[in-house]
Every structure is written in structure tokens, then in C-alpha cells.
A and B are shown apart, each in its own frame.
Chain A
Amino acid sequence: MDSTEANQNKASSYLLMINLAEQLKLPFMQIQRQAELIRLTGKQDISSIETSADYALKLIDNYLLGLKLNQDKMALEQEPVSVAAVLYDSGQLLDRLAKKYGVKLELNISGKYEPVMAHKQGLESALVSLGTSLIEAAGVQNTPKCSLQLATHRCRYGIVAGVYSNNPGLTTDLLRQGRKLIGSARQPLVNLTYSAGAGIFVADSILKAMSLSLKASRHHRLYGIGAVMRGNQQLQLV
């Protein structure tokens, strides 16, 4: 890595850290207020506190994984990965948060896809980070039909794994604007979410380390964001 690239990485890592710090205020405020409510009312339902704490920890963990993978490419041990299995596991990890936000989480992994070469934990962390931000954003819609789909499909560039909703605001422009505003604006994705949207940028950073990137994508009639990976026909034969 030359010094210019190292400086660029340092700068983008600093901006991501600012964005993450802003984002983390949200789950900590939720914990703080929920704990106070328990003290005031004497009602002992701590499940929301657990969910918020879990959300904050996952975000920090995923951010650290992105940092580690970006700094030490040697840590990137790629292996044959089934995209459907990773989406299933990500769905399990996101389920509790989705329920708390009143968002119906669906899994659409029908179809047969060859494995992809990827860092399994990295891919899963990226999808979970992306999912947390989109769950939070979908919760705002405040309608009974509010749902998200974790889905995979084939496109001309390879196999896409992503998170989809009926929000037409999930576009390439939204991502482009967000990437420009990260670290300098409180809401880099103002048309999508009221928060800093750190989950999306953390996913971006993890995927960048894996030489992949987040792209706006369509799945049937839904709009979403996903990672595009190249399938490996040889692995399918093995």
C-alpha cells in the first residue's frame, strides 16, 4: 500500500468513525430511556434493552471487522460460501431487531446458485449491518405492511445478495450522495433514514475490503441494496 492510498484509507476510516459515533447515540439513548422507564414504572420488561444493546454491539463488532479486513488483507481468508446460507444466518441475527421495529423480515432464497468465493464472516457482517439500517428506516414507514426481504438473485454481473423493500428511495444516487456526505452530515442518507445510517457505511467498508461494493439493485418489484459477487462454476462441480 503506498502512502497516498494509506492516507485515503485513514481519512475514510476517520469519517466512518464519526458516522458510527453519531449512530451509536441511538441505541444508547434507547437503553438509557428504557432503563429509566423501568425505574419509573416498576415494569420489568427488559427485552427492548437487550435488543438495543445487541444492536450497538453488533454495529461495533462489524465496524471493527471492516477496519481489520481493510488494514490487513492477509486476514481475508476466502472460502466457498453459499449465499443462501449466509442470507439465512443474517436473517436469524436480524430477526429480534426487526420484531422490535415492527418490520416483517422475509427470506427469499429460492433458486439454485453456485457458491461464491468470499470471506464468510465478512459477508454475513456486511448483510447484518445493512439490514440493521434498513430495518430502522423501514420502521419509520409506520404501516402494517412494512416489510423487508433478504434475497438473492442472478444479474449480468454475478450473484446479488441484498436487502429489499418497497421504498423507491433506495437508489444509486442515494448511495452516491451518502458516500459524499459521510462524516460531514448528521444524516448522510436523509431521504432514507433519520439516523446516521452507519450500518450501510459499515457494510460498504467491509465489502470494500473484500474488493466488492454495495450497489442499488432491484429484486422483482422491490428496491434494495446488495453486494454483487461472482459465482464460481468450478466450485459447484466440486
Chain B
Amino acid sequence: MSQILLIEPDRLLAETYKKALSTAGHKVSVASGSQEAINLADKISPDLIILEIQLVGHSGIEFLYEFRSYPEWQNIPVIIHTSVPYAELANGWPILSGYLNTMEYRYKPNTTLESLISSVNDLALSA
């Protein structure tokens, strides 16, 4: 079982992902914004983060910059699970995967719950 921090601003989607990941045996905490996510990460020490980039105010990328600035959080796996297509992120991907140490990109409309759970299981095992 892994402790997952799900950063998802839409309440209905967050509930669905939380139920699915919980059914798969993970413990899930949900944050809807970047500041809440930092506070929650401090509290729960997540094993893995699932991150939407489109948040209110500060974006998911700004969250990542702050998150990775703490030494203890530099190697926690992050899955970017977003409605922003890869083509729009492509220029930024070298930074996201390099400096910001993001493990995986998933386009939300095309990612089934099963494939998300499978990614989470793989990363949780390798972490």
C-alpha cells in the first residue's frame, strides 16, 4: 500500500480517482490547490504524487518547483495527469522530466482508471 497525494481541483473527478485508487489498495489524500498540497505533503509524507497542472492561481508546475526545492521531497515520484495535451508541454518536458524529476506524463481524457492504477503500482514498486 502506498500513500498517494492526489492534486486534483475538480471535486467530482477527485472523488472518482480516490475511490478507484483506494479500491486498488492505496491510501489517497486529495488537495485541490498547490498550497494545500504542500501543507498536505508535509503532513502525510506521500510515496507518490499525481498532479494536475491546471489549478486555480498557482499552476501545478509552480507547485513542482516549490515541492522539489525541499531536499526530502526531491525523489518522490510524480505523475503529471492533466488535461493539457503533451504537444503544449513538449517544450517544457526536458525541464519537467529533468530538473523537476517528473516520472510520467498522462493525458487525462485518454487515461483510464485501470491504466492510472497500473502506473501508480509500477512507480510505487520501483520507489
Contacts and interface: CB of A to CB of B under 8 A. Distances in A.
B11 A139 contact: yes
A47 to B, nearest CB: 11
Nearest to B112: A36
B20 interface: yes
B55 A40 contact: no
A134 interface: no
Interface stretch (A121-129, A176-184, A189-197, A214-222): A189-197
A194 B113 contact: no
Interface stretch (A25-33, A82-90, A108-116): A25-33
Interface in B1-57: 9-13, 15-17, 19-20, 23, 32-33, 36, 52, 54-57
B10 A30 contact: yes
Per CB-CB distance, the 7 closest pairs between chain A and chain B, nearest first, are: A194-B9, A139-B11, A33-B16, A140-B32, A36-B113, A30-B12, A194-B54
Interface string A5-48: 00000000000000000000110111011101100110000001
Contact of B10 (A136, A186, A191): A136
A52 interface: yes
Contact of A41 (B12, B19, B32, B84): B19
A194 B12 contact: no
Interface residues of A, number: 32
Interface residues of B, number: 26
A40 B23 contact: yes
Interface of A: 25-26, 28-30, 32-34, 36-37, 40-41, 48, 51-52, 100-102, 136-137, 139-142, 186-187, 190-195
A194 B56 contact: yes
Contact of A187 (B13, B36, B54): B54
Given A30-B16, A37-B113, A190 B57 contact: yes
A113 B72 CA distance: 60
B31 to A, nearest CB: 8
A97 B9 CA distance: 16
A191 B11 CA distance: 17
30 contacts: A25-B83, A25-B109, A28-B109, A29-B108, A30-B13, A32-B109, A33-B17, A33-B20, A33-B113, A34-B16, A36-B20, A36-B113, A36-B114, A37-B16, A37-B19, A37-B20, A48-B12, A48-B15, A51-B12, A52-B12, A101-B11, A140-B32, A141-B32, A142-B36, A186-B54, A186-B83, A186-B84, A187-B54, A190-B56, A195-B10
A51 B11 CA distance: 13
A187 to B, nearest CB: 6
Among B32, B84, B113, which residue has the most Cβ atoms of chain A within 10 A? B113
Contacts of A25: 83, 109
Contact of B57 (A36, A186, A191): A191
Nearest to B8: A194
Contacts of A191: 56-57
Contact of A40 (B13, B52, B108, B114): B114
Contacts of B9: 140, 194
Contacts of B36: 142
